[in-house]
Structure 1
Amino acid sequence: MAIIALLLAAAAVAADQILKLLVTSNLQPNSGFNVIDGFFKIFYIQNRGAAFGMLQNQRWFFILVTLSISAVIIYALFKYRQHNFFSYAASVLIIGGGIGNLIDRVLYGYVVDYIYVTFFPPIFNFADCCVTVGTVFLIIHILFFSDLNSNAEKVIRSK
C-alpha cells in the first residue's frame, strides 16, 4: 500500500505542476481573470514566502523543511503499522503538495500561486490545498485512530 501511496503522491505532484504550467504559460505575474465574478479568480503571483506571505525569501529553509518532512512521512509509510484511510490520504497529500511546491522553489526560487477566493484573501495553489487537507487528515488520524490517542486515554483512565 505504501507504493500505491507514493504513486498517488506523484500524481498529485503532476497535477500541481500541470496546473502551474497552464497558469504561467497563459498569464503574466500579477494578472488574472474572474472565474466566478466576485467570488473566485485565477490570479498569478510569485510567492517567495510561506502561507499568507510569511517568511519571505527563506527559500533554503523551506527546501530543507520540505525535504525533511517528506523523508519522515515516506519512512512512516513503510514502517508505521496502524495505517488507515486518514494516514494514507494524509501521506499522499502532504508529500504530493510539499514536493509540488518544492519543485517551484528549486527551479524558480518562488512558488506559483493562482487561486483567489474572496472569503479567503491569501492567494494559494493546488499544492497548498493538498498540504492543508493532508494535515487535517493527519490530525484526525492522530486524535482518533493512532496509538498516541489510545496511550493518552490509558494514562487519563489510570489517574
Structure 2
Amino acid sequence: MYELAIALLIAFDQIIKAWALNDLQYKGSISVINDVFNLTYVENRGAAFGLFQNNQWAFIVVALVASIIGLYFLHSNKISSKLGKLSVVLIIAGALGNLIDRIRLDYVVDYFDFVFIWNYVFNLADCFIVVGTFLLCVYVIISDNKQKN
C-alpha cells in the first residue's frame, strides 16, 4: 500500500516535470501572481538552494539510501502512527522523484518560483521532502512526549 502511494506521488511529480520540460522550458517563466509567484523553468544540478553543484552521484546515493531506510521503517513496527508513516512516504516520494530526474537528465527540473520570498526555484518533489521532514519532526516530538508521560 505504501509503495502505491509513493508511486502515485512520484507520477504526479513526473507529469508536472514533463510539462515543464516540454512546454515551460521554451517559455522560460510564466507569471501566475504578479511579483509573487511564477512558474519558471530551471535545471538544478545541485541540492537545496542549488548548493553542492554537480555532485550527482552523491545525491543519487543519498536518495537511494534514504528510500531504502524509509521503506524499512514503513514495513517494520518502528513507526506506529499514520502521521509518521505519511511523513516517510512523502520523503521517499520526493527523494525518488528527484532521483529519477538526476538519473534520466543529469539535473532536477524545478519550476515553482515564489519571487517575493527568495530567489529559489523548487519543484513538487522538494515540497514532498520538506513537508515530510516537518511532519516527521512533529511525529518524533509527539512520540517523545508520549514516552515521557
Q: Considering the TM-score relative to the shorter chain, is it more than 0.5?
A: yes
Q: What range is the shorter-chain TM-score in?
A: over 0.9
C-alpha separation in 1, matches of 2:77 and 2:17: 33
**Partner SS, residue 86 of structure 2:** helix
C-alpha separation in 2, matches of 1:28 and 1:17: 15
Structure 1 segments unaligned to the other structure (5+ residues): 155-159
Q: Residue 32 and residue 73 in structure 1: after superposition, are their counterparts in 2 closer, same or farther (change >3 A)? A: same
**Which has more radius of gyration?**
1
TM-score normalised per structure 1: 0.87
**What corresponds to 1:138 in structure 2?**
136
**What corresponds to 2:102 in structure 1?**
105
**What corresponds to 2:33 in structure 1?**
36
**What corresponds to 2:4 in structure 1?**
7
CA RMSD, 1 decimal: 1.8
Question: May I ask how many residue pairs the two structures share in their alignment?
Answer: 148
Taking only the aligned residue pairs, the percentage that are identical comes to 37
C-alpha separation in 2, matches of 1:92 and 1:7: 10
C-alpha separation in 2, matches of 1:29 and 1:16: 19
Q: Residue 103 and residue 127 in structure 1: after superposition, are their counterparts in 2 closer, same or farther (change >3 A)? A: same
TM-score normalised per structure 2: 0.93
* CA contact 1:41–1:117 (8 Å) conserved in 2: yes
**Partner SS, residue 54 of structure 2:** coil
Q: Measure how far apart 1:145 and its partner are.
A: 1.8
Letter of the structure 2 residue corresponding to residue 94 of structure 1: I
* CA contact 2:45–2:53 (8 Å) conserved in 1: yes
* CA contact 1:29–1:46 (8 Å) conserved in 2: no
